[in-house]
Amino acid sequence: MPGLVNEKARIVSNDQVGPRLHVMVLEAPVLAKSIMPGQFVHMKVPGAPDHILRRPFSIYARDVQACTVDVLYQEVGTLTRFMPSLACGQEAELIGPIGNQWSAPARFADSACTHALLVGGGVGAAPLFMLAESLRALGCPTDVVLGAQTKDAIIARERYESLLGFEPFCATDDGTYGRAGFCTSLVEERLAQGCAYDGAPYDYLAVCGPEPLMRIVAGYGAQAGVYTEVSMEKRMACGIGACLSCVVDTVDGKRRSCVDGPIFDAAKVVW
């Protein structure tokens, strides 16, 4: 396993893309090259010395040529509410690449993943995008379900559409775009109908989003007999496996979401 780096990363842009949603682009040549789908970075946010902990962020996209990584973040606490005020040129620090990877590309190589369904709830759409890119490049038929509170919050829709060549299946809680209600009904439907490409049953399901969503979709996956992976995020201090803050309950005991995850076999998670 290649070692971790703590890379100084200049902020290239930091733009609002939806309600309480922002994309920060950072110049990080080492991480832009090395990070793999599912892995994340642990960011020291500049200009906030009272916040002594880093924050974990998944990588929404990377550009190896431009040496940049994109981080999609939502304002949820005092630090993420502060982050939109950061200006271009300020320097963050990113520890990475941390954690394991979605297993779909490896399973594709073993013919164990032939039809994939990716389910992203809210900002959970971000860490699935690099996986979608990777599956697309391999030629694995891949469908995407996105859920969000409202139309303006399904920010990843266009990126997925331009990647896939067709629109992802969308649901909004308030019915302003796509199916009205939670995206779980779309997942049920997809599992019943099979892959939009050829109607074949899915044999790989990846979910990232709020824990209740992941729990419900993991249940559907188990019912349908589809191998399901979830990306777990718990409050984290060190981010590198030392502090045991971010543990997830699994059938194998408590596992660190940072380095034993963040990707877990959903069948092993004790919800």
Partner 1 sequence: MRKPLDTQVNMEVDLGGLRMKNPVTTASGTFAAGREYHDFVDVASLGAVTTKGVSLNGWTGNASPRIAETPSGMLNSIGLQNPGVAHLASEELPWLRSIGATVIVNVSGHSFDEYVEVIGSLDQTGLVDAYEINISCPNVDAGGMTIGTDPASVERVIGMCRAATKLPMIVKLTPNVTDITEIARAAEAAGADALSLINTLLGMAIDVERKKPQLARYVGGLSGPAVKPVALRMVWETYKAVNIPLLGMGGISTGIDAVEFMLAGARAVAVGTANFSNPEATVDVIDGIAAYCERHGVKDVNDLVGALE
Closest CB to partner 1 among residues 51, 136 = 51
- Whichever of 188 and 211 has its CB closer to partner 1, that residue is 211
The DSSP secondary structure of 56-113, one letter per residue, reads EEE-SEEETTTTEEEEEEE--SHHHHHGGGPPTT-EEEEEEEES---SHHHHHHTTS-
Least separation in angstroms between residue 224's CB and partner 1 is 29
CB 132 within 8 A of CB 164: yes
Minimum Å gap between C-beta 100 and partner 1 is: 15
Q: To which H or E segment does residue 144 belong?
A: strand 142-148
Could you tell me the smallest distance in angstroms from the CB atom of residue 231 to partner 1? Answer: 16
How far apart are the C-alpha atoms of 203 and 111, rounded to whole Å? 10
In terms of CB distance, is 95 or 128 closer to partner 1? 95
For partner 1, the closer of residues 132 and 246 by Cβ is 246
Radius of gyration for the chain, computed over Cα atoms and rounded to the nearest angstrom? 18
- Token pair, residue 7, equals 């890379």
Q: What are phi and psi of 132, to 5 degrees?
A: -60, -40
Interface ranges with partner 1 (CB under 8 A): 3-6, 44, 49-54, 79, 95, 234-249, 253-254, 259
Nearest to 260 by CA among 239, 270, 106: 239
Nearer to partner 1 by C-beta: 115 or 255? Answer: 255
Joined tokens for residue 2: 């290649």
* Nearest-approach distance from CB 76 to partner 1, in angstroms: 11
Nearer to partner 1, 3 or 89 (CB): 3
Give me the least distance between CB of 25 and partner 1, in Å please.
23
* Nearest residue to 126 via CA among 32, 21, 31: 21
CB of 5 to partner 1, least distance (A): 8
157-164 and 126-138 are packed helices; what angle lies between their axes, rounded to 10 degrees? 0
Least distance (Å) between residue 27 CB and partner 1: 21
What is the C-alpha to C-alpha distance for residues 248 and 189, in angstroms, rounded to an integer? 29
Nearer to partner 1, 78 or 223 (CB): 78
Q: In angstroms, give the least distance from the CB of 93 to partner 1.
A: 8
Residue 270: Cβ within 10 Å count: 10
Distance CA 252, CA 224 (A): 23
Nearer Cβ to partner 1, position 5 or 36?
5
